[in-house]
């Protein structure tokens, strides 16, 4: 007999465990210093990493700025949109 009443529900491993990518897209309006500031504020990145990601967005048109659990990815995209940056999320393939 189990020592607790916890109900174990099998989860959909594929959908829960696949990491999600948070992608920021280049746009002609947001200032580079601002994009760097947003990356530091939202993700807690240091200036060097934030500037590197900002440059990637600017030069390559997009950059994967974070990857991980879906709920966290959604929260980050919401925060990026609140800061008026073009951001999307994609499942890792």
Residues that bind another protein (CB under 8 A): 15, 25, 28-31, 33-34, 37, 74, 77-78, 81-82, 84, 86-91
Residue closer to another protein (CB basis): 30 or 63: 30
Residue closer to another protein (CB basis): 53 or 85: 85
Tell me the C-alpha distance between 63 and 53, whole Å: 7
Tell me how far CA of residue 52 lies from CA of 8, 34, 65, 66, 73, in angstroms. Answer: 44, 13, 10, 13, 20
Q: How far is the CB of 93 from another protein (least distance, A)?
A: 13
Residue closer to another protein (CB basis): 46 or 74: 74
Tell me the C-alpha distance between 84 and 57, whole Å: 15
Q: How far is the CB of 30 from another protein (least distance, A)?
A: 7
Q: Is residue 80 within 8 Å of residue 22, measured between CB atoms?
A: yes
């Amino acid at each position: 007999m189990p020592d607790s009443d916890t109900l174990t529900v099998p989860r959909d491993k594929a959908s829960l465990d696949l990491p999600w990518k948070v992608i920021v897209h280049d746009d002609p309006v947001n200032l580079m210093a601002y994009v760097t500031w947003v990356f530091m504020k939202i993700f807690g990145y240091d200036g060097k990493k934030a500037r590197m990601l900002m440059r990637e967005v600017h030069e390559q048109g997009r950059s994967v700025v974070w990857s991980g659990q879906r709920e966290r990815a959604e929260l980050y995209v919401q925060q990026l949109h609140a800061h008026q940056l073009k951001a999307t999320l994609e499942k890792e393939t």
